[in-house]
Amino acid sequence: MTNPRHANDTDHGRYYTDPAGGPDLVSVTNVLATSVNKPALMPWAVKLTVEWILDHRMEVARRAITGRDDLTRQIKKVHRDARETAADLGDRIHKACELRLLSAPVANDPEVAPYLAQFDLWLSYWGVDTAKHVEATEITCLHRRLGYAGTADLLTWLPTGKNRALELWLIDYKTSATRSAKSVYPENTQQLAALRYCETVLLPDDTEQPMPAIQRTGVLNLRAKSHALVEMPADRDAHKAFRGALVNALWHHAAPSSYPALLAPDQPVPARWRNFRKVA
């Protein structure tokens, strides 16, 4: 996950600080992470863990006798480490794309280079002149009335209209080492809709402008050997679905993490419970 300005990690996920001084705004990705079930994650984690155990079976057999606790902790980390590694690579790819659009130097990173090459190909194939066609990159979008914010990877003009007329696209980058370049998730549409229908955008100096009228939205999948721009129907229906997810996420973030147990009438309160609320 990238680290936009004004974004902060909290006990309930990422929130944005409002530079105008209003309440913190929950991030779009935080909303979806809280509210959208991802059933594929558990099988993926199990598969990855089993493969690691099989690849290290001799070490596992030895440590199961001599260091079972440490081995257990390491095995439990296998899928988390893999996710963090993938997220870190994704962050570096996003940063490299941003620097490319800004015509700024990009650090040499062998892992990032194949993905950046695909991004360069995409720009070339679509005839994107970064000086003329790019409206914004990594720009913060706010919806104060609904209480959320997010960062748009790219606002750019593409020749997709009638007679190749330019249309303003909102594009989000997605990276993966394994998934097809044509694959997307349903919640990608909600993410794009949430950003599309924000009220304002923050410029680098924290001044504000109204969110521009977005004509089309899509996911740009970047892979080491391929890429694909997949248009997503981020319309008002998708935004309505996101608003439902938003209400659910905010409820979960505000809910207590524990509740006092009830005691039967006249039952003495155990000493370990005396710090909880009194029983009526």
Q: Which residue has the higher pLDDT, 38 or 47?
A: 47
In a domain, 61, yes or no: no
pLDDT at 242: 98
In a domain, 18, yes or no: yes
The answer to whether 168 and 157 are in contact (CB under 8 A) is yes
Count of the separate structural domains present in the chain: 1
pLDDT interval class at 5 (50, 70, 90)? confident
pTM of the model: 0.87
**For residue 103, is it left (φ>0), alpha (ψ between -120 and 50) or beta?**
left
**pLDDT, tens digit, for every residue of 155-202?**
999 999 999 999 999 999 999 998 999 999 999 999 999 999 999 999
In a domain, 51, yes or no: no
Find the helix or strand (DSSP H, E) in which 198 lies. none
Taking 80 as the threshold, does the pLDDT of residue 274 lie above it? Answer: no
Please state, as a whole number, how many other Cβ atoms lie within 10 Å of the Cβ of residue 22.
11
CA distances for 223 relative to 102, 121, 156, angstroms? 21, 12, 21
pLDDT at 2: 62
Domain of 162?
A: 7-35+112-254
Q: The domain that contains 245 carries what CATH number?
A: 3.90.320
Find the helix or strand (DSSP H, E) in which 151 lies. strand 148-158
Q: What percent of the chain has pLDDT over 90?
A: 84
Measured between alpha carbons, how far is 148 from 197 in angstroms, rounded to an integer? 11
pLDDT at 280: 46
Taking 80 as the threshold, does the pLDDT of residue 279 lie above it? Answer: no
In a domain, 250, yes or no: yes
In a domain, 107, yes or no: no
In a domain, 64, yes or no: no
What is the arithmetic mean of pLDDT over 227-233?
Answer: 96
Taking 60 as the threshold, does the pLDDT of residue 50 lie above it? Answer: yes
What is the arithmetic mean of pLDDT over 19-28?
Answer: 95
**pLDDT, tens digit, for every residue of 122-168?**
999 999 999 999 999 999 999 999 999 999 999 999 999 999 999 99
CA distances for 37 relative to 34, 40, 122, angstroms? 8, 9, 32
In a domain, 52, yes or no: no
In a domain, 270, yes or no: no
pLDDT at 44: 86
pLDDT interval class at 15 (50, 70, 90)? very high
Sign (positive or negative) of CA dihedral 148, 36, 182, 161? negative
The answer to whether 227 and 183 are in contact (CB under 8 A) is no
